[in-house]
Structure 1
């Protein structure tokens, strides 16, 4: 059984809070099955957006870079994504060190 999107988002936000990394929900998607996009804002005008993807060889889920560059360009990418997937969640993480914790155990599920 898979975790709901809302449960995963709440767990992710809690994990970020534990290490004092600010994050917030920019767009609330479908509670059950919405895709989750994570924007990492490094507070220097740059950003990266991650999305979960399936590794075709192993079937495992992993986080991949959807786009990176100037924050304004990343915001435009997220706006386009949400225009055709209104069920998607967008989480913004703000960390000058570039920490997002997506590579931590349990967050790939």
Structure 2
């Protein structure tokens, strides 16, 4: 059984803030099972966006984990990220949008690892 999204988001915010990065909820989605998008602003006009990983990457033995994938291989202009987030909200108003500000680009997420 997966943790409610609202609880996961609260833990994520605490994780970021305990490491010295600012993080906040920009859009509150569905309490129980909303998808989470995380924007990491690098404070130089660029950002990286992380989206939920496809269901095909989940291991049956660990269905409660939340994995993320970067939308682009490197940071892009924040305006591009904002355009993408507007589209995501139009498609699914129940998504959560979290924004983290960190000059080092730390995201504090569990990413899908490339398979050898």
- 2:41 maps to 1:69: no
Stretches of 4+ aligned residues off by more than 4 angstroms: none
Post-superposition CA distance 1:7-36 (Å, at most 9, x none): 000000011111111011010000001000
Residues matched between the structures, number: 104
The gaps in structure 2 that reach 5 residues or longer are 112-116
Structure 1 unaligned regions, length at least 5: 105-109
Compute the RMSD of aligned alpha carbons: 1.8
Distance in 2 (CA, whole Å) between partners of 1:78 and 1:102 is: 18
CA distance in 1, matches of 2:57, 2:10: 29
Structure 2 partner of 1:50:
50
Task: Give distance in 1, aligned partners of 2:55 and 2:35.
Answer: 16
Match status 1:85 vs 2:92: yes
What SS is found at the alignment partner of 1:99? Answer: coil
Structure 1 position 31 matched with structure 2 position 15: no
Kindly state the Cα deviation for residue 56 of structure 1 after the two structures are TM-superposed: 2.4
1:40: which partner in 2?
40
